[in-house]
Amino acid sequence: MFDQLSDRLRGVIGRLSGRGRVTEADVDAALREVRLALLEADVNFRVVKDFLARVRERAVGAEVLESLNAGQQVIKIVHEELTTILSQGDRTFRLDGSPAVILLVGLQGSGKTTSAAKLARHVTKSGRRPMLVAADPYRPAAIDQLKTLGRQLDIPVHSAPVGTPVLDIGRTGVAEARRTGRDTLIVDTAGRLTIDEQLMAEIGDLAGALRPAETLLVVDAMVGQESVAVAQAFADAVPVTGLVLTKIDGDARGGAALSIGAVTGLPVKFLGSGERPDALEPFHPDRLSGRILGMGDVLTLVERAQETFDQKQAEQMAEKLRRNAFTLDDFLSQMQQLKKMGPIGGLLEMMPGMGGMAKQAQAAVDSGELKRVEAIIQSMTIAERQDPHVLNASRRRRIARGSGTTLQDVNRLVKQFGEMQKLMRQLSGGGGKRRGFPGLPFG
């Protein structure tokens, strides 16, 4: 979502960082470009105006302009002020009460039901025992969808027949959670295509009866500035404690997602991307501003790796690397694990200085390159995966036929794997201890 904005801002930053001293005119020229980039990205114009005023006030000070690394200092100021825009409100996620009730509200199609399941998985990782409540008595499909997601995650779903009053569904859900020892109740409420008085009154009554620890408004980040008006309308009708921004992996301009907190005063607490149950992450303003400015987000990358990769397996893989015993089987296993961490383009954007490669890498994945590699390796025998040196011409032709690829594809993979093994031998110092990255595979 932030690709275009990020590309523009990285260009401005690159020109500034390449300089030592900068003048007030340099700062003004850079800020004009930043202003255009933010407005084109659909960031609220008042937010843009305040942001640029704060940056300029700090950037044209004597201490900055007269320093030898003024360009770097201006970039630091931009990063800090962008983080400030994103840091509205109290982002603490509270789970008070027995059970702790989390009420999800929003318009139809915003991603409430999927977000409810993602949130249930999120609290499960912290040791809690959630229950989902289908509090949308108007759309049987929404109830069925939540039940399907609940089965996939092994999380119980409380529902009632179509037409049951919403208050009754909420109250019986609380009673069922207490009876079965569930400490967290995530309530998926009904949505409408547009804001109406009946919807607001219904949500207000439900919030009054259940006294939720969190009332989270689920907002489709692709809607644009209209999402700001939606957020304001819900906040006026019910005590919203925070926002969940969904579909941030879409191709909309993304500016509304940046400015919604600053305009409404509501904190963004979670970001959702994709349909996977694990595609929900707590919102960290400093990390997102770092990604947008091309500075990466190593902390989130490490957290994802720690969730995805088993520590014992990582240690075994590191030992194989040290002994130069890394095989095509290991390569396939690591590639499949890496895919669980999310789109490869998104992972590269979290690595400092690698944002520019993200699009090309994702394009390679989208074109089916990784699938071809998987098919080739899976068409090999165990002996061939363990020792690619046995792959003579007839074996390679058989593998190409079996994987639906070409002989050139097979040859290219074998060559690339051989080059990777040589590189690993060099990095390991011929068997010595290899330095890696804690929490990441091979670390």
pLDDT at position 5: 75
Write out the E strands in 92-190. 100-105, 130-135, 157-158, 184-189
The most distant pair of C-alpha atoms in the chain lies apart, rounded to whole Å, by 73
> For the chain, what is the mean pLDDT?
79
Give the strand order in the sheet containing 214-220.
157-158, 130-135, 184-189, 100-105, 214-220, 242-246, 268-272, 280-282
Domain span(s) for CATH 1.10.260.30 in the chain: 301-427
Span(s) in the chain for CATH 1.20.120.140: 3-86
Per the model's pLDDT, the better-predicted residue between 383 and 194 turns out to be 383
Residue-level pLDDT at 17: 67
We find that the CATH architecture of domain 100-295 is 3-Layer(aba) Sandwich (3.40)
For the cut 80, the answer to whether the pLDDT of residue 152 exceeds it is: yes
The confidence band for 287, taking pLDDT boundaries of 50, 70 and 90, is: confident
Which residue intervals of the chain bear CATH 3.40.50.300?
100-295
Q: For residue range 215-239, what is the model confidence (pLDDT) as tens digits?
A: 999 988 777 777 888 888 888 888 8
Which residues make Cβ contacts (< 8 Å) with residue 331, sequence separation at least 6? Answer: 377, 417, 420
Per-residue model confidence (pLDDT) at position 314: 60
Backbone angles phi, psi at 92, to 5 degrees: -65, 130
Q: Where are the alpha helices (DSSP H) in 220-264?
A: 226-237, 255-264
Average pLDDT over residues 148-173: 91
Fold observed for domain 301-427: 434 Repressor (Amino-terminal Domain) (1.10.260)
pLDDT at position 149: 93
Does residue 352 have a pLDDT over 70? no
Among the ranges given (88-102, 316-330, 350-364), the one the predictor scored with the smallest mean pLDDT: 350-364
Q: Per-residue pLDDT for 404 more than 80?
A: yes
Q: Does the pLDDT of residue 66 top 90, yes or no?
A: no
pLDDT score at 67: 60
Which CATH number is 3-86 given? 1.20.120.140
pLDDT digits (tens, 9 = 90+) for 10-65: 777 777 766 666 778 888 888 888 888 888 888 888 888 998 998 888 887 766 66
3-17 helix and 285-292 helix, angle to the nearest 10 degrees: 70
How far is residue 219 from each of residues 57, 230, 378, measured CA to CA in Å?
33, 8, 42
Interval 147-173 mean pLDDT: 91
Give residue 427's pLDDT: 58
**pLDDT number for residue 118:** 93
